[in-house]
Structure 1
Amino acid sequence: MLGAQLMIILDATVVNIALPHIETGLRFSSTSLAWVMNGYMLTFGGLLLLGGRAGDILGRRRMFLAGIIVFTLASLAGGLATSAGMLLAARAVQGIGGALASPAVLALVVSGFPEGRERVRALAIYAGVVTGGASLGLVLGGVITEWLSWRWVLFINVPIGFLVVALAPLFVAETPRLPGRFDLVGAITSTAGVAALVYGFIRAAADGWGDRTAVAAFAAAVVLLAVFLLTEVRTPQPITPLRLFADASRSGSYAVRLLLVAGMFGVFFFLTQFLQDVLGFSPLRAGVAFLPMSITLFATSRVAPRLIPRFGGRRMMIVGMVPVIAGMTWLSRVSPATGYWDGVFGPMLAFGFGMGIVFVPLTTASLAGVRREDSGAASSMVNVMQQVGGSVGLAVLVAVFGTATRSVLAHPVAGLSAVALRHRVLSHGVSAAFGLAAIFDAVALLAIIVLLRGGAQNPAAAAGRPERGPAKTRVGQDVG
């Protein structure tokens, strides 16, 4: 199950290193290139709750396998793409497959381990796969792009997908099918609303904030998301149980995740281009350049569960946010004169260390105290906030990037060569995007301080409490 989750998470970032080659090969513009990432994250994040609900009604193993098959075939189509439109369509279908398969993983982890020490350890492994997998994708993308082709960052999913489909029935038991209805209106309006919001930001990045199409997209997003909220209030079986947001600590943890991932995907997207276009790194060298962050993040996330019972989750999150904000602020100072060792290596270490501390207690806080019948929806909501935070956050940062680059082009410096001007424009835009990402992280820290109290302060405290029922160890046997 974690192997499949790793494949799905990898695909959110493995394409990053290949973006410059995709841009050239399929003739993307600098701003439309973000859709290679957002096309995947939008359908993934927008349909995750529907995928979780489908697992409840039709059986989690059945939907897991269906999702992996869709994901694998879409990966094959994306690798064979001959136009930008074909690649974006394949990425969107990949997201649909991920949305069907991914909800089963975290729900089975939550239901398979009792709340307390065992669940914290299990969630630590899950968090390590999710966060470490995202950064590992950058390294793997560099290796594949350098040695093979950008197309192989998608082809690599095909043998893994078929292997998962072959092995899953041997180890994963089918879950009972529960009666219920699909909230299709909620799924469609939420996905379309977020897509319109992202499109508005990306359109503004290319054509300015006064562009009529961008304004119309923002207006459509407001209407669609308002209809979504009204639908969820009135429908007897909503795709998003709004009672999940009744607890301030849980709502705060969702908001923190959204803000953190928004900044994190900005680091992946913009730093990849800075390393290759400004510093002149090859794809392989650019991927390896992310190793300090990947290693630090994974190592820290493995230690974090042992520290939660002693220091409390909320205190650890506050401590972890300090290097995250410092690292992002440091990155906001990049310029054409910035080198890897004096301006990138240090922020990567700080970012990896801080994120490794924050994500384990944050995931635990999002799931603490959730009723058994809501475990699937709560687990899916964690993934939704991650994917929506990545897509919307990246769109906002791309819009800021576009505005900053236009301002530089409007006031050119005499005597600069074409290459020097390109480096100056890209560096200024990346610096502005990282500055906004640092603000995202500062707001996340404020949300932790103000909202995450009570159960979120020490989510592992339940370790000493007796279990509320027998633990089921066979994967898939005890799903709420």
Structure 2
Amino acid sequence: MVDTHPPGRLADRPTPVPEARKLSKATLPLLCLIPFMLALDLTAMNNAVPTIQRDLHFGDADMAWVIDAYLVTYGGFLLFGGRLSDVIGRRRILMSGIVVFTVASLAGGFVTGAAAFVAARLGQGLGAAVMLPAGLSLVATLFTDPATRVKGMAAFSAMGAVGAVLGQVIGGLLIEYASWHWLMWMNVPVGVLMLVSAPIVLPAVPGTARRLNVGSALIGTTGVSAVVFGVIKAGSLGWSNPTTVAALCVGGALVVGLVVIEARSSDAILPIHLLRNRIRAGAFITGALLCAIVCSFTFAGTNWAQRIHGNSPLQTGSEFVPMAIATIVGAAVAKAAFIRIGARPVLCVGGASWIAACALFTQVEPDTRYAPLVLIAYILGGLAQGSVLVAVNLLIVATVAPEEAGTATGVGATAQQVGGAIGLAVLASTMARGGIHSGADAPHALMHGIHVGLTIMAGLGVLMVAIAFATAPARARING
């Protein structure tokens, strides 16, 4: 395992999971399809919102539900999905999530009305919330050799980041040369492939046979869903809007109530000891900060390209390709560096790269060309995204017991999802208010809002470095 604890401090002791049989060479590629497909779907759908609004007759006030419906169920059910995978069995839960996601994608491509489409997106979010923690915990528990586990976690993390970037390219291609229906249908063959392959290449890891606390699951799911909904609404309605405030207050109260209940529960859906580990808690917070920066940064780049330069979705997506390549490179470097020099240097350098990327983009103006300024910012952002995400995910699972790997990854994914929603809401708010104090024309007002938002994100990058320095181990020794 990865020894991430300072000398003299007892770690949570993972117990080895015996492999039922030698793993197939297709095991890791199959598991890496999960984050790639989910991220690809989400970002590709962002490009199709105007087309879907027109075809399915969404009102202006309801248009956001094309994305929000997915995010609310996805963010709300991640913790529940992670716990389910621990209790019932990871392969079984993964396959159940694939079925839900694939069926919802197939149905969503055939709908003719707004309400039915929102229902399909809710189903996709539910399936994704089950698939992601189950897949990540399978990587953490199936690959028992330390070096192989690091390689697997690096590949899993990188493919999610690459899918998020390439989704813009594929989304642009399908919208321009086919139709938005194919954004839903493209998931179907991938889902079928995974369903057919999973029983063949994935060992059946049994669950813990513990009782699932349904009451806590309902409280946690409702609370996190309300928080995600409130943050999403803050981006469009403002942080002081009654709907935003009510959702955040209700969600926050439920989450606090869940923590109080779980502290006394023997069948906790959120075991409190997962949060008491300093290194793991730091990784949860760092992951949330990372996703806040990533989501706001890519959103800023998309708006600069499309709203100011008038680029098509395909052109915009193509400009993000260097960021995808840099993400792969960053993940590969982080994999080697994590083993040799530890998590703290990886996280600190990655955080510094994000600070530089955001600072560079604050120098971008409406008449700025793509190269070299924006291109360099994208490359720095990609390197940082790949390296930090790999280190964060490794720290989350490094010391957790195998029977709680799904729960731990569910907590981490929930933190990252909420962080991403907050980052988007902050940037949307600063963009909407960009012209209030700038006294500028529309393009310059928009850029003023982007500059303010990314300055805040650079501040979060500073906070990320500080938390990594305070909580991440200086060295990570790989034990055989």
Normalised TM-score (structure 1)? 0.86
Contact 2:259/2:270, CA 8 A, preserved across alignment = no
Consecutive unaligned residues of structure 1, counting only runs of 5 or more, are 467-480
- What is the CA distance between 1:304 and its match in structure 2? 2.5
Tell me the secondary structure at the aligned position of residue 175 of structure 1.
coil
Q: Is the 8 A contact 2:287 2:416 kept in 1?
A: yes
Residue number among 445, 451, 456 corresponding to 1:436 in the alignment: 456
* TM-score normalised by structure 2 residue count: 0.86
Instruction: In structure 2, give the amino acid aligned to 1:101.
Output: M
Q: How does 1:149-164 map to 2 (within 5 A)?
A: 149-164=179-194
Change (3 A) 1:52 1:125: same
Select which of 264, 278, 287 maps to 2:317: 287
Alignment match, 2:168:
138
Relative distance call for 1:218 and 1:111 in structure 2 (3 A) is: closer
Asked if 1:268 corresponds to 2:285, the answer is no
Aligned counterpart, 2:248: 218
CA contact (8 A) 1:256 1:447 kept: yes
Instruction: Give the whole-Å Cα distance in 2 for the aligned partners of 1:104 and 1:367.
Output: 13
Structure 1 stretch displaced more, 259-268 or 56-65? 56-65
- Work out the CA distance in 1 between the residues paired with 2:210 and 2:447: 52
CA distance in 1, matches of 2:371, 2:53: 27
CA deviation after TM superposition for structure 1 residue 45, in Å: 2.8
**Distance in 2 between the 1:29 and 1:317 partners?**
43
Aligned to 2:469: 449
SS of match in other structure, 1:344: helix
1:278 CA displacement: 1.3
Counterpart CA distance in 1 for 2:38 and 2:232 is 24
Q: Is 1:348 the counterpart of 2:368 in the alignment?
A: no
Which one is further off, 79-88 or 61-70?
79-88
Cα deviation 1:331-378 (Å, max 9, x = unaligned): 234432233225421210111122223222222222222223322222
Task: Tell me how far 1:27 sits from its aligned partner.
Answer: 6.2
Mapped to 2, the partners of 1:441 and 1:210 lie a distance apart of 26
1:228 alignment counterpart: 258
* 2:434 and 2:447 in contact (8 A); partners too: no
SS of structure 2 residue aligned to 1:53: helix
The residue aligned with 1:363 is: 393
One-letter amino acid of the counterpart of residue 381, structure 1? V
User: Whole-Å Cα distance in 1 between the matches of residues 299 and 113 of structure 2?
Assistant: 21
Structure 2 equivalent of residue 394 of structure 1: 424
**Aligned-pair distance for 1:247?**
1.3
Q: CA deviation at 1:19?
A: 3.6
Moved more, 62-71 or 223-232: 223-232
Alignment partner, residue 289 of structure 2: 259
1:372-411 equivalences in 2 (<5 Å): 372-404=402-434, 407=436
Shift in Å, 1:208: 4.1
Q: Are the equivalent residues in 1 in contact too, given 2:86–2:407 (CA < 8 A)?
A: no
Deviates more, 1:120-129 or 1:72-81: 72-81
Q: Which residue does 2:72 correspond to in 1?
A: 42
Deviation at 1:261, TM superposition (A): 0.7
2:475 aligned residue: 458
Matched, 1:324 2:354: yes
Name which of structure 1's ranges 223-232 and 73-82 shifts more when overlaid on structure 2. 73-82
What amino acid is the match of 2:181?
R
Following superposition, the deviation at residue 412 of structure 1 comes to: 6.0
Moved more, 67-76 or 252-261: 67-76
CA distance in 2, matches of 1:396, 1:84: 27
What residue number does 1:111 align with?
141
- The answer to whether the 8 Å contact 1:31/1:206 transfers is no
CA distance in 2 between partners of 1:89 and 1:333 (Å) = 42
Q: Deviations over 1:58-95 (max 9, x none)?
A: 33222212111110121123333445444333222111
1:78–1:90: 8 Å Cα contact kept in structure 2? yes
Q: What is the DSSP-based 3-state SS (H/G/I as helix, E as strand, rest coil) of the residue aligned with 2:47?
A: coil
Distance 1:39 1:337 in 2: 36
1:50 touches 1:182 (CA, 8 Å); kept in 2?
no
Equivalent position SS for 2:195:
helix
Superposed CA RMSD: 2.6
Residues 1:279 and 1:447: Cα distance change in structure 2 (over 3 Å):
same
- Aligned to 1:240, what secondary structure does the other structure show? coil
- The count of aligned residue pairs is 450
Structure 1's 244 and 57: CA in aligned 2 closer, same or farther, altered over 3 A?
closer
Q: 1:89 aligns with which of 95, 105, 119?
A: 119
Q: Is the 8 A contact 1:194 1:392 kept in 2?
A: no
Instruction: State whether residues 16 and 272 of structure 1, in contact with CA within 8 Å, keep that contact through their aligned partners in structure 2.
Output: no
Name the counterpart of 1:63.
93
Q: CA deviation at 1:174?
A: 2.3
Amino acid at match of 2:218: I
Q: Aligned with 1:234: secondary structure? A: coil
Match of 1:470 in 2: none
Contact 2:133–2:410 (CA under 8 A) maintained in structure 1: yes
Sequence identity percentage: 34
Q: Is residue 330–residue 347 contact of structure 1 (8 Å, CA) maintained in 2?
A: yes
* Between 342-351 and 285-294, the greater mean CA deviation after superposition: 342-351
Question: Secondary structure at the residue paired with 2:328?
Answer: helix
Amino acid at match of 2:446: L
* Alignment match, 1:51: 81
Query: Are 2:446 and 1:426 equivalent residues in the alignment?
Result: yes
- Which of 170, 188, 195 is equivalent to 2:218? 188
Quick one: which amino acid aligns to residue 303 of structure 1?
V
